[in-house]
């Protein structure tokens, strides 16, 4: 009885349940490649392209021939040579187109008006000898005198004026004023305004130096 129990226990404890051991292997199935279909080839387009290329080449060759023929005929006198091939001995007259030159436009030169040359003002030096003889002025007149000498005595002023008269130059003796009660002045010219006298003083200074000056009297 003990042996049966042991046997039964071992049968339940095994994994194969008492079946013989066998090897199990998965079935190897070769994967089948999907069928490949070749694309149909079209030869119509290639033939059309080849035919078009042939026409283009022919057209280019024909154009080159025509250009070469035109150059030969018109530039190398080919017209006469071609005419001689057909028995025409007379040369084909060439048309000469005469061109008349256009007259050059007449360009009128602008008339340049000459500007009038401004004449330089002629500076007239005042006459140094404005007086005749000797004259005495006893009161102010408002005019501007050119004085060339001053004295504290009338007689001295007269002596100087007489010497000037001997040289052909007249003068005027100006009596003293309130500002200079003792001074007698000898003048050889006079002007209406002080500005006029000042603008002409240089002519007198060229003769009398700094002794010549203007005085409104």
Asked whether residue 133 carries a pLDDT value surpassing 90, the answer given is yes
Q: Give residue 65's pLDDT.
A: 84
Q: Give residue 119's pLDDT.
A: 65
What backbone phi and psi angles, to 5 degrees, belong to 35? -65, 140
Q: Give residue 130's pLDDT.
A: 85
Q: Give residue 45's pLDDT.
A: 53
Q: In what order do the strands lie in the sheet with 184-191?
A: 134-137, 171-174, 184-191, 144-151, 213-216
Q: Give residue 127's pLDDT.
A: 61
pLDDT-based confidence at 55, cuts 50/70/90? confident
CATH superfamily, domain 134-216, is: Sporulation related repeat (3.30.70.1070)
Of the two residues 127 and 9, the one the predictor is more confident about is 127
Of the two residues 173 and 93, the one the predictor is more confident about is 173
Asked whether residue 80 carries a pLDDT value surpassing 90, the answer given is no
Q: Give residue 53's pLDDT.
A: 78
Mean pLDDT of the chain: 76
Tell me which H or E stretch contains 70. Answer: helix 44-75
- What is the residue extent of each domain of the chain? 44-86, 134-216
pTM: 0.43
Q: Give residue 102's pLDDT.
A: 73
| Each residue's pLDDT tens digit, 10-39 | 444 555 555 566 655 555 555 556 666 555
Report yes or no: 198 and 192 within 8 Å, Cβ to Cβ.
Answer: no
Q: Give residue 9's pLDDT.
A: 47
> Which letter does DSSP use for residue 87 in this model?
T
Our measurement of the distance from residue 66's CA atom to the centroid of its chain's CA atoms, rounded to an integer in Å, reads 54
Of the two residues 137 and 54, the one the predictor is more confident about is 137
Q: Give residue 68's pLDDT.
A: 79
| Each residue's pLDDT tens digit, 145-181 | 999 999 999 999 999 999 999 999 999 999 999 999 9
Q: What is d(CA 78, CA 200) in angstroms, rounded to the nearest whole number? A: 100
**Cβ density class 29-64: b for 16+ within 10 Å, e for less:** eeeeeeeeeeeeeeeeeeeeeeeeeeeeeeeeeeee
């Amino acid at each position: 009885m003990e042996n049966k129990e042991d046997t039964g226990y071992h049968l339940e404890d095994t994994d194969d349940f008492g079946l013989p051991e066998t090897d199990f292997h998965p079935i190897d199935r070769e994967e089948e490649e999907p069928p490949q279909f070749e694309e149909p080839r079209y030869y119509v387009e290639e033939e059309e392209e080849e035919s078009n290329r042939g026409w283009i080449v022919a057209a280019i060759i024909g154009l080159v021939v025509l250009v070469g023929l035109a150059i030969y005929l018109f530039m190398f006198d080919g017209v006469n040579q071609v005419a001689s091939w057909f028995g025409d001995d007379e040369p084909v007259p060439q048309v000469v187109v005469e061109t008349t030159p256009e007259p050059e436009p007449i360009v009128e030169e602008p008339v340049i008006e000459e500007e009038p040359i401004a004449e330089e003002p002629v500076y007239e030096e005042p006459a140094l000898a404005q007086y005749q003889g000797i004259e005495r002025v006893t009161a102010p007149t408002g005019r501007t005198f050119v004085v060339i000498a001053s004295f504290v005595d009338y007689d001295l002023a007269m002596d100087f004026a007489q010497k000037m008269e001997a040289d052909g130059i007249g003068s005027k003796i100006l009596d003293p004023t309130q500002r200079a009660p003792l001074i007698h002045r000898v003048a050889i010219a006079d002007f209406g305004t002080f500005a006029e006298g000042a603008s002409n003083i240089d002519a007198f200074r060229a003769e009398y130096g700094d002794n010549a000056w203007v005085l409104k009297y």
